[in-house]
């Protein structure tokens, strides 16, 4: 995601009206993204089950065992499974794009492309604009975005950290799958230190260097982050 191409709330709306995006198409586009996301997820699920029954294709398992056992919110895990899971050497998402490319709309292809470039990470809310979104920083890669997420802007506080996927679609950064249990700034920073050590283990990463985005896009990294976050939030609930 290139922050130069992403607009912010008070930038001119991409529809060409000349009005600020926040006062023009923001809410309508947010609803459209949610509908598109649900439509793409349903298509991937249907295709995955069909592919599993087809003897000419490699077996596809859309539900990793770890996700089955987790008590966390299903919406987060649905996006992790379908947008990050790699069952046959390439991601389920990329397999679906290749198999169904001829039947997908431009919007669906654009959404899938945005998902292929996204990654799961620990994001800290730096600034909150109520009913609009948050300015967020990835504690592992150092990337910073203004994220359009009206519902989450009412739920999070400045300094809160969340395990989430932030994608860039149609020149807007938005949340697509956030773990239901956020953490405080202190707890999130501690989790980020552990995550950095785990992601960088066995690799050449100079002290103080940011984690490369390509490392964050690996399925093993996403799975590790999910396990780490589940353990950390479960511990926090026990202590409290």
Burial class from Cβ neighbours inside 10 Å (0-12, 13-18, 19+) for residue 52 reads middle
Assess if residue 231 is contained within a domain.
Answer: yes
Rounded to 5°, the CA angle 197-198-204 comes to 65
Task: Pick the last residue of a domain from 54, 86, 117.
Answer: 117
Task: Pick the last residue of a domain from 73, 100, 117.
Answer: 117
pLDDT digits (tens, 9 = 90+) for 75-133: 777 777 777 766 656 677 888 888 888 999 999 999 999 988 999 999 999 999 999 99
pLDDT digits (tens, 9 = 90+) for 154-179: 999 999 999 999 999 989 999 988 88
Does residue 93 sit in the same domain as residue 137?
A: no
Rounded to 5°, the CA angle 140-31-114 comes to 40
Does residue 127 sit in the same domain as residue 156?
A: yes
Confidence bin at 208 (pLDDT 50/70/90): confident
Does residue 130 sit in the same domain as residue 202?
A: yes
| pLDDT, mean of residues 193-217 | 88
Range of the domain at 191: 120-239
Q: Kindly report the CATH number assigned to the domain that includes residue 174.
A: 2.40.50
pLDDT digits (tens, 9 = 90+) for 26-54: 999 999 999 999 999 888 888 877 766 34
Does residue 126 sit in the same domain as residue 110?
A: no
CA gap 115, 73 in Å, rounded: 20
Phi, psi of 163 (to 5 degrees): -85, 115
Name which of 168, 144, 147, 167 is nearest 156 in CA terms: 147
The mean of the pLDDT values for the chain is 83
Does residue 170 sit in the same domain as residue 68?
A: no
DSSP 3-state of 75: helix
Task: Pick the last residue of a domain from 117, 132, 159.
Answer: 117
Least confident range from 65-74, 128-137, 147-156, 226-235: namely: 65-74
pLDDT given at position 79 = 77
pLDDT digits (tens, 9 = 90+) for 17-33: 999 999 999 999 999 99
pLDDT given at position 138 = 97
Assess if residue 177 is contained within a domain.
Answer: yes
Q: Which residues pair with 123 in a beta bridge?
A: 138, 162
pLDDT given at position 17 = 93
Assess if residue 91 is contained within a domain.
Answer: yes
Does residue 202 sit in the same domain as residue 144?
A: yes
Structural domain total, the chain: 2
Assess if residue 12 is contained within a domain.
Answer: no
Does residue 98 sit in the same domain as residue 147?
A: no
Assess if residue 141 is contained within a domain.
Answer: yes
């Amino acid at each position: 995601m290139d922050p130069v191409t992403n607009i912010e709330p008070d930038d001119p709306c991409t529809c060409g009206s000349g009005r600020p995006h926040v006062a023009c198409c923001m809410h309508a586009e947010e609803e459209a993204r949610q509908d598109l996301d649900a439509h793409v997820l349903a298509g991937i699920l249907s295709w995955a089950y069909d592919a599993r029954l087809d003897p000419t294709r490699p077996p596809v398992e859309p539900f990793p065992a770890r996700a089955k056992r987790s008590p966390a919110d299903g919406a987060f895990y649905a996006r992790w499974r379908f947008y990050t899971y790699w069952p046959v050497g390439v991601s389920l998402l990329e397999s679906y794009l290749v198999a169904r490319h001829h039947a997908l709309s431009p919007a669906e292809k654009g959404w899938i492309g945005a998902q292929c470039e996204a990654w799961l990470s620990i994001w800290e809310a730096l600034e909150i604009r109520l009913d609009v979104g948050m300015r967020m920083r990835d504690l592992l890669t150092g990337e910073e975005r203004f994220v359009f997420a009206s519902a989450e802007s009412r739920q999070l506080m400045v300094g809160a950290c969340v395990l989430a996927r932030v994608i860039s679609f149609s020149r807007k950064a938005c949340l697509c799958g956030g773990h239901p249990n956020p953490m405080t700034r202190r707890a999130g920073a501690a989790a980020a230190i552990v995550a950095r050590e785990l992601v960088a283990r066995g690799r050449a990463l100079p002290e103080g260097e940011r984690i490369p985005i390509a490392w964050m896009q690996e399925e093993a990294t996403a799975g590790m982050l999910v396990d780490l976050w589940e353990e950390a939030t479960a511990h926090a609930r026990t202590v409290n």
